[in-house]
Structure 1
Amino acid sequence: MSSEPTRRIVVVRHAKAEWSDADDQERPLAARGRKDAPVAGRWLAGTGIVPDLALVSTSARTRETWKLIVPELPQRPRTVFEDRLYEASLGELIAVLNETSDEVADLLLVGHNPGVHALADALAGEAEADLLPRMNRSGFPASALAVLTLTGSWKGLEHGAARLVALWAPHA
């Protein structure tokens, strides 16, 4: 039996945003996004996962998604709004996660596609039941959440290091 601590990461794609002529980083949530984000929060609360840390992209739509999710949680985790999550590639997302303190057992990340889908897919070396093909068929829609478990340090996080244990998306 491994003495390495078990960690969880919840990967969240921001809720549905409006298309507008505004700067991409300032796009607000659409009505559907404002409806779906609290439902995502209630689903997460139902899993019993209470994140120690939330890393949230600085875009308006990710901040608004988080603002609607967090009241549904049993307690508010420490939240860091991170510029590097906006339009981050898979490598950039892993680099940010590698900087996480090992005192954090459960981490939540709110970001953007295609990066968050690529992150969940790349980390998932294994998956419960049909979750991996289901996630890849769905394309990780707005408000989707993927829960992955892993052992070891955040500094050692790499491709295939986690197990996809839960997946939720609205309207699925």
Structure 2
Amino acid sequence: MSAAEPRRIVLFRHAKADWPQVTDHERPLAERGRKDAAVAGRRLADAGVPFDLALCSTAVRTRETWKLAVHELPDRPKTVYEERIYDASPGELIAVLNETPDDVRNAVLIGHNPGVQGLAEILSGTAEDDARERMGRRGFPAAAFAVVTFDGSWKSLEPGVATLTDYWAPSE
């Protein structure tokens, strides 16, 4: 694949977490989160996004979200659990994505707010249809995801270069 072909990133916030007496990193999904993660996975499968790579935070709730969502996909991508995604700023997330090998066309990043929402907002210089309006109206609740596309290499990913092509959030 050439670096000039469009690339796609799905920015996926973990599903609803529970609040047991554990550290934030160790918080598991709540029952609603388990249901929403599977629904989000079905929505991703319906969108027909063939992922080459999944970059997932090491937090328990993100790993559980991805495990339930990926089960709904027709093909499982290579998954990398990345400590730097936990509690990362949009800039830190861009740095992680800049390291993605250029043979990867479609990636999913499973992380946390406010970083994931902030990343969707700052990458998206343009938007298709009403995706930006829907994201602005709903915010970025648990299990929501945004799809952004851009041209160029992963090293060229920076604020404003992408197009927000889709946004989805579970119904409440």
Alignment of 1:1-172 (within 5 A): 4-171=4-171
Q: What is the alpha-carbon root mean square deviation over aligned residues?
A: 1.0
Unaligned runs of 5+ in 1: none
Aligned counterparts of 1:124 and 1:73: Cα–Cα separation in 2: 26
SS of 1:72 mapped into structure 2 = coil
Deviation at 1:134, TM superposition (A): 1.9
Q: 1:135 & 1:160 partners in 2: Cα distance?
A: 16
The percentage of counterpart residues that share the same residue type is 62
User: How big is the shift at 1:4?
Assistant: 1.3
Distance 2:96 2:166 in 1: 22
**What amino acid maps onto 1:38 in structure 2?**
A
Alpha-carbon distance in 1 for matches of 2:96, 2:134: 26
TM-score, normalised via structure 1 length: 0.96
Q: For residues 106 and 155 of structure 2, what CA distance do their matches in structure 1 show?
A: 14
In structure 2, runs of 5+ residues without a counterpart are none
Moved over 4 A (4+): none
Give 3-state SS (helix, strand or coil) of 1:104's partner: coil
Counterpart residue identity of residue 125, structure 1: G
* Number of positions where the alignment pairs a residue of Structure 1 with one of Structure 2: 170
**1:43 maps to amino acid:** R
